Structure 1
Amino acid sequence: MTDPIIIAVPKGRILDEALPLLAAVGIVPEAAFSDDASRALRFATNDPQIELIRVRAFDVATFVAHGAAQLGIVGSDVLMEFDYPELYAPVDLRIGHCRLSVAEPADMAEKDDPRGWSHVRVATKYPHATRTFFEARGVQAECVKLNGAMELAPTLGLAPRIVDLVSSGRTLKENGLVEVETIAQVSSRLVVSRAAFKTRARVVPLVDAFRRAVEHASA
């Protein structure tokens, strides 16, 4: 028997939106997957040849790029940040919609013009994507790497601006920040290990099944 195909899925909001797509493809995780008390990270499914692993969103791409998983569901923000050549992203799943944006304190934004920036200091967990965006505009970006609580950076003097994911904008507003630039619109993608795409017989049919499920959901 061949090793099972492992699909890496992210914890959190995207997973809630991904579960109906997985079901549409015919993949139903074991009961422990939905048990909030469970600390398991690897789960069987109704298909003995498919397993799921549940990891941090930023780690999905790494597991798939290095061959520890064959497929994954991950935001396009993560793909921008890591830019793994080993990954193929054949399907936009049309879930997890948000945007990667530059934000700053509202009082600062009132007198600020992004067109005049030549150097910015930014707190973000996306240093690569941030530098790439600003370099394309001839702006030097000094990035302070944070993994969370980004909104505190301006008020505590760590950096006057942040780059982070924005959905409703409520968190920014509650912390006195406003969006001033949009770096990219973000949605979740199905990613595949290029090696697995070429060598694992079930991978291509699975990709096709996800594509059909997305098209049906959008019809």
Structure 2
Amino acid sequence: MKENCVNVALPKGRLAEDTIELFLKQGITNEGVVDFNSRRLTFYDEKNNIKFMMVRNMDVSTYVEHGAADIGVVGKDILLESGSDVYEYLDLGFGFCRLCVAGIRNSDLSYRHDMVVATKYPMLTKNFFASKGVFVETIKLYGSIELSPIVGLSDFIVDLVSTGQTLKKNGLIEVETILESTARLIGNKSMAKVKYDRIKEIIETVESV
């Protein structure tokens, strides 16, 4: 691997695919470098001296903050929840979704101090309700969050919504939107100085879209 290789952390799934599609379109990487059907976690583009790392969505900003990656792509929701100390360079405009409060349809959907909220986003959830003067207990779940109010584990959930069909199929309804999220290009604050010219070139190339 050549000196000053730019390391890029990508979240497994659709955001990674959209990012690579954008990078291919702008000539930042070459066709065939990243194989999404492979179990490999790293892919090196020798011609452009850029390495892609496939990581969990929640971990992208951690890899970037601690210098394992120079730049990364992550949803704004994850970026805010993590509180990572990184540069936020660009809004990439794809990966749109909403972080919403949802509850059981035809139930009491008013907020109260003793309620329990299930979510993957405890910090954003607590901050949101605190801004309304409501202090809640949060339960952190990693999947099937829609189930929790149905079985009585929580009063509400806070989760990402795109079409709302999953909520509807499970008898839930959106109550309020906390924030709208899209994919962001982020960078490490110290490594960006070492590889400033390369990273600046990538940012300007993406921004030109």
Would you say same fold, with TM above 0.5? yes
1:57 aligned residue? 57
TM-score by length of 1: 0.88
2:23 aligned residue? 22
Of Structure 1 and Structure 2, which has the larger fraction of its residues in helix?
Answer: 1
Say what the alpha-carbon RMSD is for the aligned residues: 1.7
Equivalent AA in structure 2 for residue 91 of structure 1:
L
CA contact (8 A) 1:92 1:189 kept: yes
1:205 aligned residue? 201
Q: Is 1:194 the equivalent of 2:189? A: yes
1:216 aligned residue? none
Q: CA deviation at 1:19?
A: 2.5
Q: Relative to 1, partners in 2 of residues 1:121 and 1:35: Cα closer, same or farther, differing over 3 Å?
A: closer
Q: CA deviation at 1:113?
A: 3.3
Q: CA deviation at 1:212?
A: 1.2
Identity, in percent, stands at 39
Q: Relative to 1, partners in 2 of residues 1:191 and 1:199: Cα closer, same or farther, differing over 3 Å?
A: same
1:139-150 residue pairs with structure 2 within 5 A? Answer: 139-150=134-145
1:180 aligned residue? 175
Equivalent AA in structure 2 for residue 113 of structure 1:
S
Q: 1-side partners of 2:92 and 2:60: how far apart? A: 15
Is there any run of 5+ residues in structure 1 with no aligned partner, and where? 214-219
Equivalent AA in structure 2 for residue 170 of structure 1:
Q
2:42 aligned residue? 42
Q: CA deviation at 1:152?
A: 0.8
Equivalent AA in structure 2 for residue 160 of structure 1:
D
Q: CA deviation at 1:48?
A: 4.3
CA contact (8 A) 2:29 2:48 kept: no
CA contact (8 A) 1:29 1:44 kept: no
CA contact (8 A) 1:96 1:186 kept: yes
Q: Relative to 1, partners in 2 of residues 1:147 and 1:202: Cα closer, same or farther, differing over 3 Å?
A: same
Q: 2-side partners of 1:30 and 1:120: how far apart? A: 51
Q: 1-side partners of 2:138 and 2:30: how far apart? A: 39
Q: CA deviation at 1:35?
A: 4.7
CA contact (8 A) 1:42 1:53 kept: yes
Structure 1 counterpart SS, 2:157 = strand
Q: Is 1:155 the equivalent of 2:150? A: yes
Q: CA deviation at 1:139?
A: 0.8
Q: Is 1:113 the equivalent of 2:110? A: yes
CA contact (8 A) 1:127 1:145 kept: yes
Q: CA deviation at 1:112?
A: 2.7
CA contact (8 A) 1:100 1:185 kept: yes
Q: CA deviation at 1:15?
A: 2.3
Q: CA deviation at 1:119?
A: 4.0
Structure 1 counterpart SS, 2:63 = helix
Q: Number of paired residues?
A: 207
Is there any run of 5+ residues in structure 2 with no aligned partner, and where? none
Equivalent AA in structure 2 for residue 16 of structure 1:
E
